[in-house]
Amino acid sequence: MAKIDEEKLTMINNNDQSPQFRVLSEDQCRGIIEATFECLEKVGIMIQHEEARDMLTAAGAAQQNEIVYIPRNIVKSALNAVPSEFSVCQRDDRGEIKIAINNVLFGPGPTCTYFIDPQSGARRKARRGDAALTAKVCDALPNIDFIMGLSLFDDVTPILSPVYEFAESIANTTKPVIAWANTLDTLQDIYAIAEAVAGGRNAFISQPNFLFFTTYESPLKLAHDPIANMLWAARQGIPIICLGGPTVGVESPFTGASALVIHLASALAALTLVQSANSGAPMVIGGVPSMVDLRSGRPAYGSPEMSLHSAAAVDVARYLRIPFMGTAGASESKLINAQAGIEAAIQVLLSLLSGAALVHDVGFLDCADIGSLPYLILVDEIIGMTKRIMRGIPVNTESIMFDLIQKVGPGGVFLNQPRSASIYRREVWIPTVLERAAYNLWEKGGYRTCDELVLEKLDRILKTHQPVPLSKHTMEVIEKVIEKAKARENQL
Amino acid sequence: MEQLLTGMQKCVIDGEIDQIQGYVNQALSDGMEPSVILNNGLIAAMNEVGQRFESGDFFVPEMLIAAQTMQTGLAILKPLLIKADIKTAGTIVLGTVKGDLHDIGKNLVAMMLEGAGFEIRDLGTDVNSEKFIEAVRNGDADILGMSALLTTTMPTMKETIDALVEAGLRNKVKIMIGGAPVTEKYAQSIGADGYAPDASRAVSLAKSLLN
């Protein structure tokens, strides 16, 4: 055998890469962006907030009633101002988490009407306590990086639902929480809690422990409360995520390209407002450009087009250097079954390949109507598998292990070689709920399937996992914030 | 005559929006009664479209284009029907309730109901109980339809019904509700007359409420 040239190996080493994937070429990205600028200039965007309209017209935009026509130079200066990456922190000082394209982070989604009761396994209305359970489980899962509530509480004053949710979430995890809000009052309640947890305003600013999530509507509309909340959050230095549709076919024509333009125009209008309120404010744009289901008219999270369009939106966001929020682990199925597995696997794989910064909605069933912790656990496993693929194959002297191949030689055994065995944990992905036993042992073990292993894992986490608690003092402050909010809403 | 009606029906079913007025005008100049054109031509075609949807041959886009074609044909008939004092299938006031900005489902229901021959007054999104009541008080609505996507906004449905009772208007209209979190049980509990789980079933519900 010819000896491998050291120089050649160095060359290979320099070319190491993870799997690569793109939906849109750079030319196609430019085509979408050009059409988006034209859309903002000629079609305009509905802005249901007077101060916001005034800010844009003062900068040179034209206005007719609630529609504002934004020239590209205003949008371009906002794009120059927005940071391409920023950090949020874990509340127990375990370090910062970078929010940027190609650093893909996963977490659940918000506001499910129903929740799978962990005790009975039945679908019931979401209620207080469900966000705490979600946060606790997410805290324990290795591939979940941020928290959303998977629930819309049905047993509280409706407008305060996100405040209760945030209080529960941040108390049950150290991972960053993504919060949504109703009125500005409720966002201010949430911020008061976050500030108490961080230990004051300066501590929050240097290490934000939550991101504020809000939405644009499609086609081309920003409603009053989301704008009021975004402007306030921007001025407070709270990182903002603005996400929306369109549901393709209903809120945009049936083509992916038109959906991308409608998504981007709305998101960039929001981004322009945020940067006008506070230049350099950290922001993520997002979209769930799912295909409409042709029978129900509902957005189909499980559609292949949802993942395709989202990956394309990441290409455009990467071109513009803005972090993007996408979607994965969200099934149309009502139960955990083959369909739920297929849909999540494709969504997770495409999300990781595309490099979306934040990927939410892990744990959604039934078109975002059901929050499911068992499904969250299954998708965590899928993310683990896929992240292993994303690490690719490093090619260098150390990884080729030519010496070891030579030492063991033809017909030999590698399993007991210390040099190879010592690195197996780095190389081998180890399943936790996927079932791989030999048939005889499987039979002896009581025919346990992946679904049962998921429930066992959930049960184990709920019984044994202890998130780092908040101090008694902080819990008291949170309680006071909620009491004050309740009193305010009762007065209205 | 029969051939003309068959052609008109096919025109609606195929969504040939540019040609429907030609068929209707032809039928009128042949001396066909407007009510016959409406019932045996346009509405008969929409019934066929509904059946194709139920059986899985048609999807929502085909239904909506057919409904629009039907409306385009109906536009010619409307003044004649009014003159002859022939009523539409009924008038329905629709809206997404206060605090809720989701209108895809409500819009779909509106388009489907129009296709079935109903007159629609769409109040839009974020509609409070006062606006619903005003529409019932001032109009000739046969049905009031309310939609919500969020559990947090559903209470407005009950508020509206309670307020209608208080205003002595409850017996003036039938009430139907819908939206992802809404259930049959909820509809009963707040005193609505009916609930439909999707747009196509909203049409059959509306028809049954007025029969």
pLDDT, tens only, A183-207: 999 999 999 999 999 999 999 999 9
Domain boundary among B58, B83, B108: B83
Q: Is A482 domain-assigned?
A: no
Report DSSP state, residue A399.
H
Distance CA A405, CA A412 (A): 9
Q: Is B155 on the interface with A (CB under 8 A)?
A: yes
If asked whether residues A267 and A330 sit together in one domain, one would say yes
If asked whether residues B77 and B99 sit together in one domain, one would say no
Confidence at residue A9, expressed as pLDDT on a 0 to 100 scale: 46
Q: Which domain covers residue B143, as residue numbers?
A: 91-210
If asked whether residues B170 and B141 sit together in one domain, one would say yes
Lowest mean pLDDT across A160-169, A292-301, A326-335, A356-365: A292-301
If asked whether residues B95 and B58 sit together in one domain, one would say no
The per-residue pLDDT of chain B, averaged, comes to 89
If asked whether residues A63 and A99 sit together in one domain, one would say no
Give the other-Cβ count within 10 Å of A80's Cβ. Answer: 11
Confidence at residue B150, expressed as pLDDT on a 0 to 100 scale: 78
Q: How far is A246 from chain B (nearest CA, A)?
A: 11
If asked whether residues A67 and A94 sit together in one domain, one would say no
Does A369 sit within 8 Å of B61, measured CB to CB? no
* Residue bearing the bigger pLDDT, A131 or B61: A131
Lowest mean pLDDT across A97-106, B41-50, B52-61: B52-61
Q: Is B130 on the interface with A (CB under 8 A)?
A: no
Q: Is B108 on the interface with A (CB under 8 A)?
A: yes
Confidence at residue A33, expressed as pLDDT on a 0 to 100 scale: 98
Of B61, B152, B199, the CB nearest to A158: B152
For A122, the token pair is 């039945």
State the complex-level ipTM. Answer: 0.72
If asked whether residues B121 and B77 sit together in one domain, one would say no
Residue A359 β-bridge partners? A106, A326
CB pairs under 8 A between A and B: 49
Lowest mean pLDDT across A285-299, A424-438, B88-102, B166-180: B88-102
Distance CA A397, CA A379 (A): 35
At A210, which CATH number?
3.20.20.480
At B172, which CATH number?
3.40.50.280
Domain boundary among A57, A73, A89: A73
Q: Is A15 domain-assigned?
A: no
Confidence at residue A17, expressed as pLDDT on a 0 to 100 scale: 62
For A465, the token pair is 């996992």
Lowest mean pLDDT across A58-62, A250-254, A428-432, B123-127: B123-127
The per-residue pLDDT of chain A, averaged, comes to 94
Does A294 sit within 8 Å of B61, measured CB to CB? yes
What amino acid occupies position A281? A
If asked whether residues B111 and B144 sit together in one domain, one would say yes
At B52, which CATH number?
1.10.1240.10
Report whether pLDDT(A5) > 70: no
If asked whether residues A65 and A96 sit together in one domain, one would say no
What number is the average pLDDT over the span B76-97? 88
First to last CA, chain B: 30
What number is the average pLDDT over the span B144-153? 86
Domain boundary among A17, A50, A73: A73
Q: Which domain covers residue A66, as residue numbers?
A: 28-73
Of A161, A254, A294, the CB nearest to B152: A161
Report whether pLDDT(B101) > 80: no
Report DSSP state, residue A416.
T
Q: Which of A190, A136, A162 is nearest to A376 (CA)?
A: A136
Report whether pLDDT(A13) > 50: no
Q: Is A479 domain-assigned?
A: no
If asked whether residues B171 and B75 sit together in one domain, one would say no
Residues of A in contact with B180 (CB under 8 A): 113, 298, 367, 369
Of B101, B105, B198, the CB nearest to A217: B101
Q: Is A154 on the interface with B (CB under 8 A)?
A: yes
Q: How confident is the model at residue A6 (pLDDT cuts 50, 70, 90)?
A: low
Does B151 sit within 8 Å of A113, measured CB to CB? yes
Report whether pLDDT(A109) > 50: yes
Confidence at residue A18, expressed as pLDDT on a 0 to 100 scale: 67
If asked whether residues A43 and A167 sit together in one domain, one would say no
* Helix %, strand %, coil % of chain B (to 5): 60, 10, 30
If asked whether residues A202 and A301 sit together in one domain, one would say yes
What amino acid occupies position A488? R
Of B104, B151, B153, the CB nearest to A154: B151
Model confidence pTM above 0.80? yes
Q: Which of B25, B67, B20, B16 is nearest to B43 (CA)?
A: B67
Confidence at residue A14, expressed as pLDDT on a 0 to 100 scale: 45
Does B150 sit within 8 Å of A247, measured CB to CB? no
If asked whether residues A326 and A360 sit together in one domain, one would say yes
Q: How confident is the model at residue A221 (pLDDT cuts 50, 70, 90)?
A: very high
Of B59, B99, B180, the CB nearest to A295: B59
Q: Is A236 domain-assigned?
A: yes
Alpha carbon distances (Å) from B98 to A202, B13, B23, B169? 38, 36, 42, 20
If asked whether residues B95 and B185 sit together in one domain, one would say yes
If asked whether residues A237 and A330 sit together in one domain, one would say yes
If asked whether residues A371 and A239 sit together in one domain, one would say yes
Distance CA A267, CA A287 (A): 8
Report whether pLDDT(B45) > 50: yes
Report DSSP state, residue B150.
S
Does B150 sit within 8 Å of A223, measured CB to CB? no
Does B105 sit within 8 Å of A297, measured CB to CB? yes
Domain count, chain A: 3
Residues of B in contact with A113 (CB under 8 A): 150-151, 180-181
Report whether pLDDT(A313) > 90: yes
Report whether pLDDT(A2) > 70: no
Over the range A333-361, which residues count as b (16 or more CB within 10 Å of their CB) and which as e? bbbbeeebbebbbbbbbbbbbbbbbbbbb
Domain boundary among B83, B99, B129: B83
Percentage of chain A with pLDDT > 90?
88
Q: Is A43 domain-assigned?
A: yes
Q: Is A297 on the interface with B (CB under 8 A)?
A: yes
A411-461 confidence digits (pLDDT tens):
999 988 989 988 988 899 999 999 998 898 899 989 999 999 999 999 999
What number is the average pLDDT over the span B158-180? 92
For B150, the token pair is 């969020």
Q: How confident is the model at residue A94 (pLDDT cuts 50, 70, 90)?
A: confident
Q: Chain B: residue nearest A159 by CA?
A: B152
Contacts of residue A44, defined as CB under 8 A and 6 or more positions apart, other chains included, come to A64, A67, A68, A69, A70, A220
Q: Is A453 domain-assigned?
A: no
Residues of A in contact with B199 (CB under 8 A): 297
Residues of A in contact with B108 (CB under 8 A): 250, 297
If asked whether residues B113 and B196 sit together in one domain, one would say yes
Of A217, A254, A297, the CB nearest to B199: A297
If asked whether residues B103 and B182 sit together in one domain, one would say yes
Mutation for testing the A interface, residue in B104, B126, B156, B182 having most A CBs under 10 Å: B104
Q: Is B151 on the interface with A (CB under 8 A)?
A: yes
Q: Chain A: residue nearest B148 by CA?
A: A113
Q: Is A186 on the interface with B (CB under 8 A)?
A: no
The phi, psi pair for A214, rounded to 5°, reads -145, 180
Q: Is A347 domain-assigned?
A: yes
B60-86 confidence digits (pLDDT tens):
888 888 988 998 999 999 899 888 887
Residues of A in contact with B53 (CB under 8 A): 295
Domain count, chain B: 2
Report whether pLDDT(A4) > 70: no
Parallel, antiparallel, or unpaired: how do β-strands A291-292 and A299-300 relate?
A: antiparallel
A23-74 confidence digits (pLDDT tens):
999 999 999 999 999 999 999 999 999 999 999 999 999 999 999 999 999 9
Percentage of chain A with pLDDT > 70?
96
First to last CA, chain A: 84
Does B60 sit within 8 Å of A294, measured CB to CB? yes
For A492, the token pair is 């209205």
If asked whether residues B102 and B166 sit together in one domain, one would say yes
Contacts of residue A321, defined as CB under 8 A and 6 or more positions apart, other chains included, come to A79, A84, A101
If asked whether residues B198 and B98 sit together in one domain, one would say yes
Does B150 sit within 8 Å of A111, measured CB to CB? yes
Of A113, A125, A295, the CB nearest to B60: A295
If asked whether residues B99 and B58 sit together in one domain, one would say no
Lowest mean pLDDT across A98-102, A116-120, A399-403, B56-60: B56-60
Does A369 sit within 8 Å of B151, measured CB to CB? no
Q: How far is A21 from chain B (nearest CA, A)?
A: 33
Q: How far is A268 from chain B (nearest CA, A)?
A: 21
Q: Is A383 domain-assigned?
A: yes
What number is the average pLDDT over the span A227-244? 97
Residues of A in contact with B61 (CB under 8 A): 249, 254, 294
> Helix (H, G, I), strand (E, B), or coil: what is residue A215?
strand
If asked whether residues A401 and A420 sit together in one domain, one would say yes
If asked whether residues A143 and A89 sit together in one domain, one would say yes
Determine whether A418 is exposed, middle or buried from the number of CB atoms within 10 Å of its CB (0-12, 13-18, 19+). exposed
If asked whether residues A94 and A128 sit together in one domain, one would say yes
Q: Give kind and range of the element (H or E) at residue B147.
A: strand B143-147
Does B153 sit within 8 Å of A250, measured CB to CB? no
Report whether pLDDT(A370) > 60: yes
Distance CA B34, CA B117 (A): 13
Of B60, B99, B155, the CB nearest to A297: B60
